[in-house]
Amino acid sequence: MSTSWLDEIKWTEDGLVPVIAQEAGSGQVLMLAWMNRESLALSVQEGKAIYWSRSRGKLWRKGEESGHEQIIHDIRLDCDNDVILLEVEQKGGIACHTGRHRCFFKQLQGDQWVEVEPVIKDPDTIYK
pLDDT tens string 5-31: 999 999 999 999 999 999 999 999 999
pLDDT tens string 44-103: 999 999 999 999 999 999 999 899 999 999 999 999 999 999 999 999 999 999 999 999
Please give the model's pTM, rounded to 2 decimal places.
0.93
Cα–Cα distance measured from residue 118 to residue 79, given in angstroms and rounded to the nearest whole number: 34
Cα–Cα distance measured from residue 67 to residue 45, given in angstroms and rounded to the nearest whole number: 19
Q: Is the confidence at residue 127, as pLDDT, over 90? A: no
Q: Among candidates 9, 48, 22, 44, which has minimal Cα distance to 103?
A: 22
So what's the pLDDT on residue 108? 95
So what's the pLDDT on residue 123? 87
